[in-house]
């Protein structure tokens, strides 16, 4: 992730105000939106202050020394949701075993509900309040745990990932309550504190609390960012199969002067294996890996044509000389819907400064394959292991080879014509004056697929962060504009969803055969 200077204007600032105020369906709905917007604008400083309070809690889930702060952050979130009038349950997630055997408590997960009107649609919001590690000396221009506003950008660890979006959702609900307006949907929350360390236990939590999700119609996740200057909705992510390739030549490291040239070196074998995974064009060399990749449909191709994506700007942002592909469509498709293989590093070899003439006895190569929709983890695992074993056999090496799958996360794709997407499109149009780009995310967000598979509900990713927010990197930020306008998007989404949900149910019922058709007349 590139580091961005604090002293430039965020690309997302282009949409500080709506470009077009499009007509709404009725005078009543127009008045509601006007009231919502006025309240949110009038209270934006309060919203920023609360985000500042949240950022001040160093809720780094990877640091055991900060575990109490992380638990405090979850408690603050639970109490905040209670102020909305929601019923809140903090679910014990057990203990984490550290290296060395020490055990510390996981932060609890939050399950909350607001409203139980059976005539309304129910929307469940997922978010997390833990953050990535951050230290001033890592290259931050400001204290990462002191929210600092510069040129309209709110800098701080967790601003965009994910405390800002969680608070924006809460602020949208609070707006209805403060205006004494009926919230048009029932709302549920699932908030966790260990997303940045892989969400351990979350899948089991969802399985054990099936009743909580039984009346949910839609799940909304706001844990990613736009692609460019334009607002966007995300309808797909790639999967991730992360592999370790271990080669062992003996029980101890050796001196290259004494043993170099007379043994089969583990590092040499490993480098050969890694070099045969992918060619210079980026094509994966593992046989069969592309067999289950679906072709690009005509409908999907049209989505790419309308996406706002500047190749040169993207190249400059990533600070690379060139891409493997030259057209917008090729680049986006290979970012989002085709598999890719990346080599991440080697464990066990000498990696320090200076020189060290050692022959490591055991080395572990690490690489991952981002999977396209339809690709299955067990199939990919079998293909990878078979191929590497065949390549290794050609070396005639006496060394030991072990290939293991460390992470297996499935890809996810949604129907962009489902009611929750249609409602979000309208909300974005009413706030920003433009229709959103429909994008995929080349990274892996396992929760989207987990929610879809376990709850059988419709899932949507609704980002409010800008493409240059720098989540996980130094100088992470969320623009004030996106924070406030994102709150408006959530608020309008609540009001637009009911009609679309009702229409969807009507169409679904019309498609069902009548009893007389089933039993004959």
List residues forming the annotated binding site for Mn(2+).
128, 161, 196, 223, 472
Query: Quick check: helix, strand or coil at residue 80?
Result: helix
Distance of CA 125 to the CA centre of its chain: 14
Query: Quick check: helix, strand or coil at residue 57?
Result: coil
Nearest to 422 by CA among 507, 352, 295: 507
Q: Show the tokens assigned to 260.
A: 């170099």
Q: Show the tokens assigned to 9.
A: 């204007």
DSSP letter (8 states) at residue 139: T
| Contact in structure between 206 and 451 (CB atoms under 8 Å) | yes
| Spatial separation of the C-alpha atoms in residues 266 and 272, rounded to whole Å | 10
| Spatial separation of the C-alpha atoms in residues 268 and 433, rounded to whole Å | 57
**Beta-bridge partners for 155:** 148, 477
| Contact in structure between 79 and 149 (CB atoms under 8 Å) | no
| Pairs from 320-329 (Cβ < 8 Å, separation ≥ 24) | 324/281, 324/282, 328/304, 329/301, 329/304, 329/305
Catalytic hit among 50, 195, 217, 300: 195
* Consecutive H or E run containing 495: helix 480-511
What phi and psi values does residue 400 have, to the nearest 5 degrees?
A: -95, 135
DSSP string of 381-450? HHHHHHHHHHHHHTTT--SEEEEEEEEEE--EE--TTSHHHHHHHHHHHHHHSSPPEEEEESS--HHHHH
**Peptide bond before residue 162 is cis, with ω within 30 degrees of 0:** yes
Q: Show the tokens assigned to 122.
A: 């129910």
Give Cα separations from 222 to 31, 167, 219, 372 (angstroms): 27, 11, 10, 22
Q: Tally Cβ neighbours within 10 Å of residue 36.
A: 23
| Spatial separation of the C-alpha atoms in residues 490 and 171, rounded to whole Å | 9
Known binding-site residues equal: 128, 161, 196, 223, 472
| Contact in structure between 10 and 160 (CB atoms under 8 Å) | no
Give Cα separations from 417 to 53, 245, 274, 367 (angstroms): 38, 42, 42, 35
Catalytic hit among 130, 192, 468, 469: 130
> 260: which residues sit within 8 A by CB, 6+ positions away?
359
Rg (CA), the chain: 25
| Contact in structure between 104 and 67 (CB atoms under 8 Å) | yes
Q: Is 130 a catalytic residue?
A: yes
Q: Is 53 a catalytic residue?
A: no
Measured torsion, CA atoms of residues 388, 391, 392, 395, in degrees rounded to the nearest 10: -170
> 18: which residues sit within 8 A by CB, 6+ positions away?
430, 431, 432, 433
Residues catalogued as catalytic = 130, 195
């Amino acid at each position: 992730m590139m580091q961005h200077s604090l002293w430039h204007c965020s690309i997302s600032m282009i949409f500080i105000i709506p470009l077009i105020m499009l007509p709404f369906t009725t005078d009543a709905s127009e008045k509601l939106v006007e009231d919502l917007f006025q309240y949110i604008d009038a209270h934006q400083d309060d919203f920023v202050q609360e985000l500042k309070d949240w950022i001040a809690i160093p809720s780094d889930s990877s640091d055991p020394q900060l575990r109490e702060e992380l638990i405090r952050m979850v408690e603050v979130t639970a109490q905040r949701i209670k102020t909305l009038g929601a019923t809140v349950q903090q679910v014990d997630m057990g203990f984490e075993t550290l290296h060395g055997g020490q055990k510390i408590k996981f932060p609890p997960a939050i399950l909350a509900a607001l409203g139980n009107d059976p005539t309304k649609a129910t929307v469940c919001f997922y978010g997390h309040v833990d953050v990535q590690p951050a230290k001033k000396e890592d290259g931050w221009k400001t204290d990462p745990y002191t929210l600092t506003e510069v040129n309209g950008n709110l800098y701080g660890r967790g601003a965009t990932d994910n405390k800002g979006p969680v608070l924006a959702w809460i602020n949208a609900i609070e707006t209805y309550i403060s205006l004494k307006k009926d919230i048009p949907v029932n709302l549920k929350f699932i908030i966790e504190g260990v997303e940045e360390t892989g969400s351990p236990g979350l899948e089991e939590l969802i399985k054990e609390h099936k009743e909580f999700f039984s009346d949910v119609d839609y799940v909304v996740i706001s844990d990613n960012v736009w692609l460019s200057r334009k607002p966007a909705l995300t309808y797909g992510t790639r999967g991730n199969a992360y592999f370790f390739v271990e080669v062992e030549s003996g029980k101890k490291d050796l001196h290259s002067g004494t043993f170099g040239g007379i043994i089969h070196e583990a590092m040499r074998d490993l480098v050969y294996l890694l070099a045969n995974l992918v060619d210079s064009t980026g094509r994966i060399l593992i046989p069969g890996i592309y067999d289950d990749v679906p072709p690009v449909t005509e409908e999907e191709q049209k989505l790419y044509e309308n996406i706002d994506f500047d190749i040169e700007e993207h190249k400059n942002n990533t600070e690379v000389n060139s891409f493997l592909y030259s057209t917008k469509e090729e680049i986006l498709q290979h970012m989002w819907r085709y598999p890719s293989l990346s080599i991440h590093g080697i464990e066990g070899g000498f990696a320090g400064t200076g020189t060290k003439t050692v022959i490591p006895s055991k080395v572990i190569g690490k690489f991952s394959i981002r999977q396209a929709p339809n690709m299955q983890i067990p199939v990919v695992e079998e293909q990878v292991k078979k191929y590497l074993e065949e390549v290794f056999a050609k070396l005639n090496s006496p060394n030991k080879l072990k290939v293991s799958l460390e992470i297996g996360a499935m890809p996810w794709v949604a129907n962009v014509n489902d009611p929750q997407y249609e409602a979000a499109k309208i909300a974005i149009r009413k706030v920003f004056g433009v229709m959103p780009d429909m994008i995929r995310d080349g990274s892996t967000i396992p929760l989207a697929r987990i929610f879809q598979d376990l709850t059988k509900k419709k899932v949507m990713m609704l980002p409010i962060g800008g493409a240059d927010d720098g989540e996980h990197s130094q100088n992470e930020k969320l623009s004030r504009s996106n924070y406030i306008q994102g709150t408006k998007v959530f608020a309008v989404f609540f009001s637009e969803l009911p009609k679309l949900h009702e229409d969807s149910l009507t169409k679904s019922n019309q498609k069902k055969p009548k009893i007389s058709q089933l039993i004959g007349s």
